[in-house]
C-alpha cells in the first residue's frame, strides 16, 4: 500500500471537479442544464491549423524524439509574432520556451526559481491552478486582493511592508480569469517599477491575450519598458486558436526565467509532438483572421448576455476581455449558496466566485461558451426566482 507524499497531500482541492460533479448529478435527474460554469472553449480549432497538423502527422521526421527545447522554427515564429503584434523584440533561443500548455509553465516556474520557504504573491481572486505551483515548490503564499473599486488590479501600496520585502515572485493575469478585467500600460509600468524596486519577479499570464472587446486590443506586459528585466509572459494556443486539447503554449521574456523553465523541462519532458509544434507555427504565421472572428463571436455573446441580464435587473461587471462575465450575487447570498440555488431551481450552472479565492466572494463567473438563445433562456429562468426585482 502506498500513501501520497506530504507534498501531494498539500495540493489544493480541485475546485472544478466538485462543480462538474454537482452539474452531472443535476443532469442525471433529467434536468435540461444550461452550463455557464465551465471554461472549455466550445469552438473547433480552425480548419487550416487542423490540416497543417494532419499533413505533418504523416511525415516520419515528426515521429522521432523532438528537440528537447522545442522546435527552433516555432521559437522563431513566436518571436516574430511578438514583433508583429506588439512591437516587442525577443531572441528566439534565449527568450522563448516552448511548453506543453501554459499551465505546466505556470505550475513549474516556482519550483524552477524559488526555494522552499520563499514567498510568492498571487492574485485573489485568481486562476486556481497557480496554487498547485505554490504547493509543489513548498513556498509561502501571500494573496493580493483584487477589488472592483481598483478595477480588479492589485494595489501595491496596500501590501504589507514585510511581505513586499520578502516576496520573490508574483503572478498577474490580464485579461483576467475570472473577472474579465484588463490591464493598462500605466498599471504595467507601475508593476515593473514595483518589481525592480523590490527584487520581485513577475509572471503575467496572457492566456486570454487575444480576447479584448470594444476595439481594445489587450496590451502585452512585455511592451512595458524594462519588463524583460523583471519577468515573463505566459502564452497559450488554447484560447486564441481553440487548441485547448492540443496542449501547447510558450513563455516569453526574461532570459534567466526562460533558462530555468527550460532546465526543469529538460528533466521532466521531451517536448510536444513535433506535428503539433509545426501546426502552431502555421497558427502564429497566419493572418489572424480566425482570431478576429473568434473575438467578434465572444463580444457578440457578451453583449447578448449583458442585455439579457440587464433586462432582469442584474448588472454585470463591465468586462473588457476574456470569455467570462463576472456577475454580482444578490443581497443575502454567498457565492456558493447563489450558485447552488441557480443549479437547483433554474438548472443553470455557474462557477461560484469563492472557487477563485475569498476575493471572489460576492460574485459568480459565467462562461460565454454557448450560443444564443441559451443565454436569454438562462436569464429568463433566473428571472422567475425574483432575486433582482
Q: Which residues bind ligand PLP (CB under 6 A)?
A: 39, 101-103, 127, 173, 177, 205, 207, 236, 238, 244, 249
Q: What is the 3-state secondary structure (H, E, C) of 108-143?
A: HHHHHHCCCCCEEEEEECCCCCHHHHHHHHCCEEEE
Which of 11, 375, 92, 130 is CA-nearest to residue 383? Answer: 375
Q: How far is the CB of 184 from ligand PLP (least distance, A)?
A: 19
Q: How far is the CB of 246 from ligand PLP (least distance, A)?
A: 9
Q: How far is the CB of 141 from ligand PLP (least distance, A)?
A: 17
Q: Which is nearer to ligand PLP, 164 or 202 (CB)?
A: 202
Q: Which is nearer to ligand PLP, 127 or 314 (CB)?
A: 127
Q: Which is nearer to ligand PLP, 173 or 265 (CB)?
A: 173
How is 129-185 classified by DSSP, letter by letter? THHHHHHHHT-EEEEEE--GGGTT---GGGS-HHHHHHEEEEEEESSPTTT-----H
Q: Which is nearer to ligand PLP, 71 or 205 (CB)?
A: 205
Q: How far is the CB of 103 from ligand PLP (least distance, A)?
A: 3
User: CA 70: distance to chain centroid?
Assistant: 22
Q: How far is the CB of 125 from ligand PLP (least distance, A)?
A: 11
Q: How far is the CB of 39 from ligand PLP (least distance, A)?
A: 5
Which of 366, 88, 84, 364 is CA-nearest to residue 204? Answer: 88
- Give the three cell numbers for residue 209: 491575450
Positions of E strands within 237-343: 249-253, 324-328
- Asked whether the CA dihedral 66, 40, 324, 148 is positive or negative, the reply is negative
Helix (H) or strand (E) segment spanning residue 364:
strand 363-367
Q: Which is nearer to ligand PLP, 98 or 137 (CB)?
A: 98
Q: Which is nearer to ligand PLP, 176 or 290 (CB)?
A: 176
Task: Name the β-bridge partners of 123.
Answer: 144
Amino acid at each position: 500500500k502506498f500513501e501520497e507524499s506530504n507534498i501531494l497531500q498539500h495540493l489544493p482541492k480541485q475546485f472544478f471537479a466538485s462543480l462538474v460533479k454537482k452539474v452531472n448529478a443535476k443532469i442525471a435527474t433529467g434536468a435540461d442544464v444550461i452550463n455557464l460554469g465551465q471554461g472549455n472553449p466550445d469552438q473547433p480549432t480552425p480548419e487550416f491549423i487542423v490540416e497543417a497538423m494532419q499533413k505533418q502527422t504523416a511525415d516520419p521526421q515528426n515521429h522521432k524524439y523532438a528537440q528537447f527545447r522545442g522546435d527552433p522554427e516555432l521559437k522563431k515564429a513566436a518571436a516574430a509574432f511578438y514583433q508583429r503584434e506588439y512591437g516587442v523584440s525577443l531572441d528566439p533561443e534565449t527568450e522563448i520556451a516552448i511548453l506543453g500548455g501554459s499551465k505546466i509553465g505556470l505550475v513549474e516556474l516556482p519550483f524552477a526559481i524559488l526555494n522552499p520557504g520563499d514567498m510568492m504573491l498571487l492574485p485573489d481572486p485568481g486562476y486556481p491552478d497557480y496554487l498547485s505551483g505554490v504547493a509543489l515548490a513548498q513556498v509561502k503564499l501571500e494573496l493580493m486582493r483584487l477589488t472592483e473599486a481598483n478595477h480588479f488590479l492589485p494595489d501595491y501600496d496596500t501590501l504589507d511592508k514585510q511581505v513586499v520585502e520578502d516576496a520573490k515572485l508574483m503572478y498577474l493575469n490580464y485579461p483576467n480569469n475570472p473577472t474579465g478585467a484588463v490591464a493598462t500600460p500605466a498599471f504595467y509600468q507601475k508593476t515593473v517599477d514595483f518589481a525592480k524596486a523590490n527584487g520581485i519577479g513577475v509572471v503575467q499570464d496572457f492566456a486570454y491575450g487575444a480576447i479584448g472587446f470594444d476595439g481594445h486590443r489587450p496590451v502585452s506586459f512585455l511592451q512595458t519598458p524594462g519588463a524583460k528585466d523583471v519577468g515573463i509572459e505566459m502564452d497559450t494556443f488554447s484560447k486564441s486558436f481553440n487548441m485547448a486539447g492540443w496542449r501547447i503554449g510558450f513563455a516569453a521574456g526574461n532570459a534567466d526565467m526562460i533558462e530555468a523553465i527550460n532546465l526543469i523541462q529538460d528533466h521532466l519532458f521531451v517536448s510536444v509532438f513535433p506535428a503539433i509544434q509545426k501546426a502552431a507555427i502555421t497558427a502564429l504565421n497566419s493572418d489572424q483572421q480566425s482570431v478576429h472572428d473568434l473575438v467578434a463571436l465572444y463580444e457578440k455573446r457578451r453583449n447578448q448576455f449583458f442585455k439579457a441580464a440587464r433586462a432582469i435587473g442584474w448588472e454585470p461587471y463591465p468586462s473588457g476581455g476574456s470569455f467570462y462575465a463576472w456577475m454580482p450575487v444578490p443581497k443575502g447570498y454567498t457565492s456558493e449558496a447563489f450558485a447552488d440555488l441557480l443549479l437547483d431551481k433554474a438548472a443553470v450552472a455557474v462557477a461560484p466566485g469563492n472557487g477563485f479565492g475569498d476575493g471572489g466572494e460576492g460574485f459568480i463567473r459565467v462562461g460565454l461558451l454557448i450560443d444564443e438563445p441559451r443565454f436569454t433562456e438562462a436569464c429568463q429562468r433566473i428571472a422567475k426566482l425574483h432575486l433582482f426585482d
